[in-house]
Amino acid sequence: MSIRREETLLVVSLCFPRLELAHLEHVRGFLNFLRLAPHQVGEDLLSDLTVSAHELMENAIKYGRDDGATLELRAPPREPSRLLVRTKNKASQRDAGRAGALVDRLTRGDPRAVYQEVLRESAARAEGSGLGLMRIAAECGMTLSTRFHRGVLHIDAWSNARRTRHEPAVADYAGAEVHRDRGP
């Protein structure tokens, strides 16, 4: 793990030299240092960042090509109220296109409605969940974007607000309304 100051306020990187699912156990601990700043990063935001980091990294390991992958947490100075989780890994044009298409689908509609559609599609498929990016957008309220340049796929997940322990999360699921007239 490396921490450095650049043009951004803070960049923390975790490099995975080999793409092995067993390495995922390090991802959650990677962000635990944020608990040192409880006034800036509350438990809800930490949960969102952790789920995002885990799902992005799992995708990078499953679909990335050799040469490893990098997980970054960025705090840009121009947008101090937002935090960014980013993965970078080599990918095929096909897999990069699939990731981009999923993100496009999420940005064209309500992420929660799209997520429910994808849950139904996923239930009809034997293998693969296709739910990782959906969880990040719909359950964590993060904003996703992708970039594919020179064979390297970047997937960014932005938090929409830096929430403290005393501020509500993007969505208060405990009080969310569930419409009971729609079946699966």
Partner 1 sequence: MSLPSLTTPELKCTVTEGPEGLTFIFDGRAESVAAREALRSFLASADQTARARKAAQVKVDFGPLIFINSSCFKEFVLWLTTVSQRPVAEQYRLIFMANPGVRWQRASLHSLATFATNLVEIA
Interacting residues with partner 1 (CB under 8 A): 21-22, 24-25, 28, 43-44, 47-48, 50-51, 54-55, 58, 112, 115-116, 119-120, 122-123, 129, 131-132, 134-135, 138-140, 169, 171, 173-174, 176, 178-184
Whichever of 64 and 132 has its CB closer to partner 1, that residue is 132
**Shortest Å, Cβ 183 to partner 1:** 5
Q: How far is the CB of 164 from partner 1 (least distance, A)?
A: 14
Q: Which is nearer to partner 1, 11 or 162 (CB)?
A: 162
Q: Among residues 78 and 184, whose Cβ is nearest to partner 1?
A: 184
- Least gap, CB of 162 to partner 1 (angstroms): 15
Q: How far is the CB of 116 from partner 1 (least distance, A)?
A: 6
Q: Which is nearer to partner 1, 72 or 111 (CB)?
A: 111
Q: What is the DSSP string of the chain?
A: -EEE-SSSSEEEEEEESS--GGGGHHHHHHTGGGGG-TTTS-HHHHHHHHHHHHHHHHHHHHH--SS-EEEEEEE-TT-TT--EEEEEEE--HHHHHHHHHHHHHHHHS-HHHHHHHHHHHHHT-SS----HHHIIIIIT-PEEEEEEETTEEEEEEE-SS---TTS--SS-GGG----TT---
